[in-house]
Amino acid sequence: MPAIRRTAAAAAAVVTLFTAATACGPGDDKAAAGPGSSAAAGDKKGEAGQDTGGADLPNGLPSNLDDIKKWEKGGWKDWDRWSRKASEFANPIIKDLWNPSRMAEAKTTPDVTAQSAGTADGGTDPEPRPVQAQQVARPYHQHMAPIGKIMFDSPQGPMVCSGTVVEDPAHPGRSNLVWTAGHCVHTGKSGGWMRNIVFVPSYNDQGLPMSQVGRAPAQEVAPYGVWWANWVTTSGEWIDMGSTKSGNAGSAYDFAVLHVRPERGGGKSLQETVGAALPVWFGAPSADRINGLQAFGYPAAPPYDGARMMNCPSRPGRLT
């Protein structure tokens, strides 16, 4: 799967840009990431319906029309058949599953606690000082369209992360790739792949309070529609060692990239639909040569509620 392998390499580079040693205020993601082996999974059809060499679906997952109907009617809730291996990822589209009300019910994922970050001289980096989060101007589709929310189902119920549209070197100007954290697609060593994984760019476009989001028109909550992941890549280290518990050895590999397709179909790519994708900074210089970075997302831990897009600008202390 050459396209997927290229994406895994891109993921490691994006992390160098986005996981600098800075800290947002309450509810920030502390997960770092780094290069390592990747585990890719998904269906057999990639861009323009081309064969990407994906694996056949394993037993217990929908592989024919009857199975898909059962899956759509709640068969996906059978967590006793939780798929763990890279080849066992499946994410068939269930239309209208993620309506505004269900999106509003999704809970934030637990923080991934990293082990102390080692430095070149054998020491450890100090905890980054908190940075005051700033609200992004609204409507979001006019100011930061590539940023959105990842929604997915876990054994604990509907959950949510932030995600970003990133460029695809294999398809310039037509990317369907979304960058997020590994724990947003796979539980790590204690479980398996999340289910019903979708991306909603420019979520809650007008920044309504969460108490109003569930009753808002779908066009306001998902202005570019809902995009379902049809394959995912994360690191083998995250699958083998990842955990949300303290001292997590897999935290340095907590990254993932989704390839998505629109729930309602259509000929345009995600990048063409939202109008932009963030570049992957392969040649990032050392942190002391970078004047500043900005981290965008939808923080949900108090005092935030996950309804509004926020930005945390800061200078990086060290890139990982």
Q: Does domain 2-43+90-114+129-314 have CATH number 3.40.190.10?
A: no
Domain spans of the chain, in order of start: 2-43+90-114+129-314
Output DSSP code: residue 244.
Answer: S
Q: What band does 246 get if pLDDT is binned at 50, 70 and 90?
A: low
Q: How far apart are CA 240 and CA 187, in angstroms?
A: 10
Q: What are the residues whose beta carbons fall under 8 Å from the beta carbon of 10, sequence distance 6 or more?
A: 166, 168, 169, 177, 257, 280
Q: What band does 281 get if pLDDT is binned at 50, 70 and 90?
A: confident
Q: Write out pLDDT tens, residues 26-68.
A: 433 333 333 345 566 665 444 433 333 333 444 556 677 787 8
Residue 219 has pLDDT above 50, yes or no: yes
- Buried-state track 272-286, b at ≥16 Cβ within 10 A, e below 16: ebbeebbebeeebee
Q: How far apart are CA 294 and CA 18, in angstroms?
A: 8
Highest mean pLDDT among 45-54, 108-117, 124-133, 237-246 belongs to: 237-246
Return the amino acid letter for 43.
Answer: D
Q: What are the residues whose beta carbons fall under 8 Å from the beta carbon of 303, sequence distance 6 or more?
A: 26
The lowest-confidence range among 70-74, 156-160, 231-235, 315-319 is 315-319
Candidates 159, 139, 157; CA nearest to 149 is 159
The lowest-confidence range among 28-32, 98-102, 183-187 is 28-32
- Residue with the bigger pLDDT between 129 and 194: it is 194
Structure tokens at 32: 């770092």
- Residue with the bigger pLDDT between 237 and 14: it is 237
Compute the average pLDDT of residues 243-247: 69
At residue 25, the pLDDT reads: 52
Structure tokens at 97: 């599953």
Dump the DSSP string for 30-72.
---B----EEEEE-SB-GGG-B--PPPPPTTS--SHHHHHHHH
At residue 43, the pLDDT reads: 58
- Residue with the bigger pLDDT between 250 and 234: it is 234
At residue 198, the pLDDT reads: 99
Taking a C-beta distance cutoff of 8 angstroms, is the pair 32, 223 a contact? no
The lowest-confidence range among 88-102, 190-204, 239-253 is 239-253
